[in-house]
Structure 1
Amino acid sequence: MIKKMKNFLKIFLLIIITSCSSSDMDLEPLNGPTSGTFPASYEEGKMGLFAAYRNLSTLDAASTPMWHVMDNITDIGYARPGTNYTSPITSSLTTTNALAIKPWEVHYQTIARCHAVLDKLDGIAGITEAQKAELGSELRFIRAYCYSQLIELYGDVPLLKASVTLNNANVPRTPVAEIQQFIIDELGAVAPQLPISQSQFGNVRASRIAALMLKARVELYSKQYAAAAVTSKQALDAAAGVYSLTPFNASVNYAGKDHTVGEPDPSNIFGHSGFSNSKEWIWVAEYNINVPGYLHNQQYYAASRLGKGVCYWGPTQNLIDSYEMTDGLSILESPLYDETNPFKDRDPRLDMYAVRPHSRYLGYQFEPNTSFVKINNYWSAGAPTQVANADATNAYRSFSGYLWRKVVDIADFNSTSVSGNSDLGVGIFRLPELLLIYAEAKIELNQLDNSVYDAINQIRTRAKMPLLNPGMSQAKLRKALRYERKVELANDGLRWYDIRRWGIANTVMNGYLYLNRNANNWTKSAITGFDESANPIYNQSQASVYFTTQQVVYKINKDEYWPIPQSEMDANPNLKQNPGY
């Protein structure tokens, strides 16, 4: 069925390309769909649906799908310095910044593709009620998702419920609260029409659980905690026996150990095999290397220099220092913490999700410190060979001193080179987030029953971390919840939204981010404590001895949202710009 979906999409794209290349655009071809007649059948409607899904996959920056860009403009991730990625963390975004423009463009393009079918759904010849429900529910889900992203990034935006023409295109901005309610109502209406799971399509199509999860997320983000608790519980109940957490593979035993032991490998969840087999994926963005333009270069931009990548993104020291010890205590509290071996006995997710010095990554010893002139190459048969350490000498090596392991699949690195092109899927919704949505809603309601502990402990158990202590206060559970969102969902693209809705962006994004590009040794004297959201608090004078810094600026009543693109302001006089731009 997945192959069939890809074939429909390929045919649709070829039809569009063929029709658009006609020398006479006024003539309607007799052998394919046109804007005037499309969709003329259920099959054409399905092509339009697949084209809407495909358009979402075009949302990227630096050839990386946007979901794996967003955390790198927060306190937990860092991008190669430059206008597009430094300006969002220094309160310097402009109305012409490419990063800020693309989500607006892609989401409204996708909404337009949804309307191309939705507007004519009732008039499609020969379509059955079941087929109409199938197309309509999925298209309305996609549209709702687009609006959920637009309001988080831009605040009030034009709410379009049907196609617009040149005569009615100047639509003013609709208040966020009204759009939130529209999304909630839409998802409540379509969820019952969707199948529980779309695993037969590789979870690239919307399911009932995906719709309920998005509804719960919007309710949570809008602080409708009672509604979010009910909706997420409904989703979890319906998901029981269908979705489940996937245990880490045996490579989790390499966590906390050095490169000589082996390479941590989360690909059974986040790699090709994971997207094919893991039952925790609820919705996945699909790519297909056989369709022109339907791929990304994410792995090339994420990989180490020795892995033939360009080290574009990486975790900050702020995230690395956040990881607990295996006893569940912070590095300041735990007797297990050894300053001479700071990665030993840490939450295994540090090594499963991130790459740090002295570990193995893409078949190479990873050492950003220049004292390691030669490092081990484990690709060769038998004993490792020694090669020059480009990860310490290249001018464009990791700027944070760390890399992301989550977003690459070593199966794509079958030699010491990589093409740069990949069709590795990108997860949008997965079960851990749904569990944490439920737990957070219940915590904010101060309903601290066993179900809250169970939701969080399922994730901690998979990570081989100790269970939460029973009888915790609301404040302590909130801190535990925020820790789990921070480390479990790291580089899933949600941190930007979390720090704003929690009201902590003004704290964590003002002052400094800490980077360890040279992989210096450090002591825990650099940290004075952890705040109520599980974020390390640094002693600047001590931390600057060990780490380099990136100054960050966050202005209240400005940086909660990105600017409306200038091109949109010029085209639509009814739009008003966000404050501060």
Structure 2
Amino acid sequence: MKRLNINKVAVVALGSILALSSCKIDRSSLNGPSTGTFPANAKEAEMGLFGAYQSVSAIDAASTPMWHVMDNITDIGFARPGTNYTSPITSAITTDNALTTKPWQVHYRTIARCHTVLDNLEKLKSTMTEAAYGQLDGELRFVRAYCYSQMIELYGDVPLLKSAVDLNNANVARTPKNEIEKFLIDELTAIAEKLPVSQPQAGHVRASRVAAYMLKARVALYAKQFTVAAQAANTALTLSNGVFDLTPFNNSVNFVGKDHTVGEPDVSNIFGHAGFKTGKEWIWVAEYNMTIPGNTHNQQYYSASRLGKGVCYWGPTQDLINTFQAKDGLPITESPLYNSAKPYENRDPRLDMYCVRPGSRYMGYQFEPTTTVTQAKNYWPVLNGTSTTPSNVANADATNAFRSFSGYLWRKPVDIADFNSTSVSGVSDLNVGIFRLAELLLLYAEAKIEANDIDNTVYTAINRVRRRALMPDLPTGLSQAQLRKALRYERKVELANDGLRWYDLRRWGIANTVMNGSLYLNRDAKPWTSAVLTGFDDSYTPIYNRTEALKYFTTQDVVYRPNKDEYWPVPKSEMDANNKLVQNPGY
């Protein structure tokens, strides 16, 4: 099925659902539509499924898909200071914060759309082949499972609805998180074999067998059921052979560690339009389409540099930049290749492939946040073929009051192909990858490490990710603790800005350490000395010589309160609407 058709049918489906329901499913997060006659046939059921998929893509903050917001309220990413994004990192979030209320609302709305079809699907069983019925049933239950997997990590205990509820039965108590984890693992076990191995004809927007086993592995890993997680991830990897693969970096990897005069690192063949269209890495994708009202986002505008027609809303922290190893695989506090006078040379290529740092080229412009550089190079005359040399422009990335607050920007997932459509009102329909093979490999490796079932497959999984990054293999014979540290490095840098760090900090039990104290930023792009760092802890968090670091870096104070900040608050609007809900501790 073509991308455009999926979205068009989804819009029709949503209209059908609303027309056939006695109550609007967007009205309240726990109020699903009434049973009625929908779906009356297999086609209507499929339309309802497409409506559920489209609803998955509706979750955002600051017009940016939520997946690319979450890392910017952790130690590796920083958002423009403000109530919505500073309060989550200072233990000051409130029950009506838009960042925390939207996931609850959107996920329950999506679950309601699944139930609209699931509650009546049995009536259609005799009209469909067993395989078609099983796949449709399986996809709907997969979407529902994904929503619950997100809800329990964000909020802990949540109401577990297995069918639609009407307004008269909307007061539902919270189900313990461990019960929902068991339900999800059992559900994904039951549906996985009903799904096709992959669905490339749908652009991997629709669920597959690989995606189901991967979600099972993620749920089990987060629940510390390491053997279950390893087995599910292994099954997904076996099914992936010849179907999914890591996409090699393109030739722009030759520009890493070099300045803007050489060229612009580019990962659009993985994280851009081209990557989603032809790449083999993506297992499950949230789809956007410019021709569908409301099915776009403004991510490019919020992420890009001032010269790149953006507003620099998000960016990596100095803590993440310091984390990237030297290209010999050693931390920068140990590698002879590291030179703090030239801190971006001889580093893990992912520093430049995934992040934008001073002196590099980004969106066709020299990126220099330091105020001493008043003019920047504009390479668009060269890119457009109108000149053989770049022109000079006023350096808005240094003079604008709302330039990057961290001193860095994200290179993924922004696509230079969207530059001409990006403006204050510009929108993008760049897809968002939810599951990719790199994460699956790291899920498997982590589950095996934590189960202390260490063998060569653990090294193979991690080294596949490192080799794509042109980094050396891990040394052999590492202990469980050493492998855990290596694994946590890979998750931190490979999955940066994929939206998983917030969860990792909590499930590893390190948020209390990492998110208490200070985050280091370098808004003025000052040079620094090697004395700012003394090493890295067991989770690959930089350890600073604070006295030295404060000579060069600015800081953001962060606060994490145990027995409170593990979860977000239940939205006040939901507490008001459902008298059986009990608020999380500390709110």
**TM-score class, shorter:** over 0.9
Instruction: Please state how far the C-alpha of 1:415 moved relative to its aligned partner.
Output: 8.2
User: How far apart in 1 are the matches of 2:145 and 2:421?
Assistant: 42
Q: Does 1:79 align with 2:85?
A: no
* Alignment-mate amino acid for residue 369 of structure 1: T
User: Which position in structure 2 is the counterpart of 1:486?
Assistant: 492
Provide the residue aligned with 1:115 in structure 2: 115
In the TM superposition, what whole-angstrom CA distance separates every residue of 1:157-188 from its partner, at most 9, and x where no partner exists?
Answer: 00000011122211111111000000000000
Query: What amino acid sits opposite 2:560 in the alignment?
Result: Y
Q: Structure 2 counterpart of 1:481, which letter?
A: L
| Distance (whole Å) between structure 2 residues aligned to residue 318 and residue 475 of structure 1 | 22
* 1:159 equivalent in structure 2: 160
Name the SS of the counterpart of 1:119 in structure 2: helix
SS at match of 2:169: coil
Consecutive unaligned residues of structure 2, counting only runs of 5 or more, are 22-32, 382-386
The yes-or-no answer on 1:552 pairing with 2:558 is yes
Alignment of structure 1 residues 34-113 onto 2, 5 Å? 36-113=36-113
Asked if 1:215 corresponds to 2:208, the answer is no
Q: Deviations over 1:205-256 (max 9, x none)?
A: 1000000000000110010011111111111111111111110000001011
Question: Which of residues 523, 526, 531 in structure 2 aligns to 1:517?
Answer: 523
Whole-angstrom CA distance in 2 between matches of 1:391 and 1:496? 28
**Pairing 1:306-317 to 2, within 5 Å after superposition:** 306-317=307-318
Secondary structure in 2 aligned to 1:491? Answer: coil
Q: Report what 2:439 is aligned to.
A: 433
Deviations along 1:69-106, one digit per CA (max 9) or x if unpaired, are 00000000000001100000000011111111000000
Aligned to 1:250: 251
Contact 1:307 1:417 in 2 (8 A): no
SS in 1 for 2:343: coil
Please report how far the alpha carbon of residue 572 of structure 1 lies from its aligned counterpart in structure 2 after TM superposition.
1.1
Amino acid at match of 1:413: F
Q: Once the 2 structures are TM-superposed, how far is the Cα of residue 131 of structure 1 from its aligned partner?
A: 2.7
1:570 to 538, 552, 576: 576
SS in 1 for 2:397: helix
CA displacement, residues 379-424 of structure 1 (integer Å, 9 cap, x when unaligned): 0131000000000000111010000000110111148968520000
Q: 1: distance between equivalents of 2:389 and 2:8?
A: 45
**Given the two structures, how large is their TM-score scaled by the length of structure 1?**
0.96
- The answer on whether the counterparts of 1:41 and 1:127 sit within 8 Å (CA) in structure 2 is no
The answer as to whether partners of 1:172 and 1:574 remain within 8 angstroms in 2 is yes
The secondary structure found in structure 2 opposite 1:120 is helix
Asked if the contact 2:17/2:116 (under 8 Å) is kept, the reply is no
**What residue is the counterpart of 2:304 in the other structure?**
303
Asked if the contact 2:7–2:54 (Cα under 8 Å) also holds between the matched residues in 1, the reply is: no
Change (3 A) 1:190 1:411: same
Q: 1:18 to 1:448 in 2, by over 3 A?
A: closer
Q: For residues 115 and 490 of structure 1, what CA distance do their matches in structure 2 show? A: 34
What is the alpha-carbon distance in structure 1 between the residues aligned to residue 115 and residue 306 of structure 2?
Answer: 44
Contact 1:42 1:131 in 2 (8 A): no
What are the within-5 Å matches in structure 2 for residues 467-482 of structure 1?
Answer: 467-482=473-488
Rounded to whole Å, the distance in 2 between the matches of 1:34 and 1:5 is 25
In structure 1, what is the Cα distance between the partners aligned to 2:450 and 2:351?
Answer: 28
Give me the whole-angstrom Cα distance separating, in 2, the residues matched to 1:566 and 1:362.
41
Question: Following superposition of structure 1 onto structure 2, how do residues 287-366 of structure 1 map, counting pairs within 5 Å?
Answer: 287-366=288-367
Offset at residue 544 of structure 1 (A) = 1.2
DSSP 3-state at the match of 2:40:
coil
User: Structure 1 CA distance, aligned partners of 2:128 and 2:115?
Assistant: 17
Per the TM alignment, residue 524 of structure 1 is displaced from its structure 2 partner at its CA by: 1.9
8 Å CA contact 1:512, 1:551 repeated in 2: yes
Match of 1:25 in 2: none
Residues 1:175 and 2:181 aligned together: no
Alignment of 1:500 with 2:506, yes or no, is yes
Return the alpha-carbon distance in structure 2 between the equivalents of residues 498 and 332 of structure 1.
Answer: 24
- Looking at structure 1, the residues matched to 38 and 129 of structure 2 have their Cα atoms a distance apart, in angstroms, of 17
In structure 2, the residue corresponding to 1:562 is in which secondary structure?
coil
The CA distance in 2 between the partners of 1:197 and 1:145, in whole Å, is 17
- Alignment partners' CA distance in 2, 1:217 and 1:440: 10
How far apart are the structure 2 equivalents of 1:482 and 1:137? 33
The residue type paired with residue 71 of structure 1 is D
Instruction: Give 1:542 deviation, angstroms.
Output: 1.3
Alpha-carbon deviations, 1:446-505, whole Å to 9, x = none?
Answer: 222110000000000000001100111111110000000000000000000001000100
Partner amino acid, structure 2, of 1:370? T
The question of whether the paired residues in 2 share the 8 Å contact of 1:308 and 1:416 is answered with: yes
Provide the C-alpha distance between the structure 2 equivalents of 1:360 and 1:153, rounded to a whole number of angstroms: 36
SS of aligned partner of 2:283:
strand
Structure 1 residue 123 displacement after superposition: 1.5
| Kept after mapping to 1: 8 A contact 2:145/2:184 | yes
Given that 2:259 and 2:360 are in contact with CA atoms closer than 8 Å, whether structure 1 keeps it comes out as yes
1:371 shift after superposition: 0.7
Matches within 5 A, 1:263-302: 263-302=264-303
The aligned amino acid for 1:552 is V
The residue type equivalent to 2:377 in the other structure is N
Deviation at 1:9, TM superposition (A): 1.8
Change (3 A) 1:38 1:379: same
Letter in 2 for 1:151: I
Superposition deviation, residue 10 in structure 1: 3.5
| Cα drift, residue 135 of structure 1 | 1.5
State the number of aligned residues: 571
Aligned to 2:468: 462
Deviations along 1:120-163, one digit per CA (max 9) or x if unpaired, are: 00123834433321211000000000000000000000000001
Check whether the contact 1:379–1:415 (CA below 8 A) recurs between aligned residues. no
Q: 1:62: Cα distance to partner?
A: 0.1
Q: Deviations over 1:326-346 (max 9, x none)?
A: 000111101111111100011
In the alignment, is residue 395 of structure 1 matched against residue 401 of structure 2?
yes
Alignment partners' CA distance in 2, 1:240 and 1:146:
27
Letter of the 2:345 partner, please give it: K
Distance 1:237 1:399, change over 3 A: same
**1:201 Cα deviation (Å)?**
0.5
Report the AA paired with residue 247 of structure 2.
T
Measured in 2, the distance between the counterparts of 1:559 and 1:6 equals: 37
Amino acid at match of 2:37: T
Q: Find the residue that maps to 1:283 and give its secondary structure.
A: strand
* Separation (CA, whole Å) in 1 of partners of 2:120 and 2:186: 21
Please report how far the alpha carbon of residue 527 of structure 1 lies from its aligned counterpart in structure 2 after TM superposition: 1.2
Per the TM alignment, residue 5 of structure 1 is displaced from its structure 2 partner at its CA by: 2.0
SS at 1:96 equivalent: coil
1:543 Cα deviation from its structure 2 partner: 1.1
Q: Percent identity?
A: 68
What's the CA shift for 1:357? 0.2
| Gap regions ≥5 residues in structure 1 | 21-32
1:545 is paired with a residue whose SS is: coil
Amino acid in the other structure paired with 1:542: E
The one-letter code sitting in structure 2 at the alignment partner of 1:284 is V
